[in-house]
Each structure stands twice: as structure tokens, then as C-alpha cells.
């Protein structure tokens, strides 16, 4: 299995809703990442988990809350989002970062 699976593929949520994005990989990768990508822009790093511990938080607002329940799963909990948070959210994993990251196909989030 050489894939990173993200669910859901599309999500529409109101500003008062609470939702979660899920990411799963079974490649034995020990580092997992959340990126946010706006249209026609490069991905922006949000969080890095290394060996299930949060190692990098790129000053992301607290309305985004990451969680790594085990080495295969990564969640992103969303609460009280703003319309400007609408974007493609990409999950990635890597065994050894210089070898390259494997990306999921993303969750397209719309906040209304």
C-alpha cells in the first residue's frame, strides 16, 4: 500500500460547525503533515507530527486542532472556521523526508 488516504474528499461546513478531516497511511511512515493550499498557490505547511508527537506548528490558529492517535492516522479537527479557511487541505507522510513526501488527494473544504 503506497497511498495516503484522505476523507472526506469534499466538505462544506458552517462557521459554527465542528468537523474533522482524516488521513491514513499504511506505509510505515513515521512523519505526517498537514498542508493548506489555496487555488493556484503552493501548499503551506500547518503541522508536522514525528513519531506521533507534534514537532512543528506553523502558528496555525487554534480553530485548527491536529491529532495523531497512532502512527497510521492523522486527524485535523475544525471548529468555528472562517470563510477564508476555505481551501484544499493536503495530508502527507514520509519515512525519511529527503526521500520525498507522499501526498493524499486532499479534502476540498468550503466554509459558508
Would you tell me which residues interact with other proteins (CB under 8 A)? 37, 40-43, 45, 48, 55-56, 88, 90, 92, 97-106, 108
Q: How many residues does the chain have?
A: 112
How far is residue 29's CA from residue 5's CA, in Å, rounded to a whole number? Answer: 13
How far is residue 47's CA from residue 37's CA, in Å, rounded to a whole number? Answer: 13
Rank residues 83 and 98 by Cβ distance to other proteins and give the closer one. 98
Shortest reach from residue 50's CB to other proteins, in Å:
8
Q: What nine digits make up the cell of 112?
A: 459558508
Shortest reach from residue 16's CB to other proteins, in Å:
27
Amino acid at each position: 500500500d503506497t497511498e495516503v488516504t484522505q476523507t472526506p474528499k469534499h466538505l462544506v461546513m458552517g462557521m459554527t460547525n465542528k468537523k474533522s478531516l482524516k488521513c491514513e497511511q499504511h506505509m510505515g511512515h513515521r512523519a505526517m503533515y498537514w498542508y493548506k493550499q489555496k487555488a493556484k498557490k503552493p501548499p503551506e505547511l500547518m503541522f508536522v507530527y514525528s513519531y506521533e508527537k507534534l514537532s512543528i506548528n506553523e502558528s496555525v490558529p487554534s480553530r485548527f486542532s491536529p491529532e495523531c492517535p497512532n502512527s497510521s492516522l492523522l486527524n485535523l479537527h475544525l471548529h468555528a472556521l472562517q470563510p477564508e479557511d476555505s481551501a484544499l487541505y493536503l495530508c502527507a507522510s514520509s519515512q525519511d523526508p529527503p526521500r520525498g513526501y507522499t501526498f493524499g488527494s486532499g479534502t476540498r473544504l468550503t466554509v459558508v
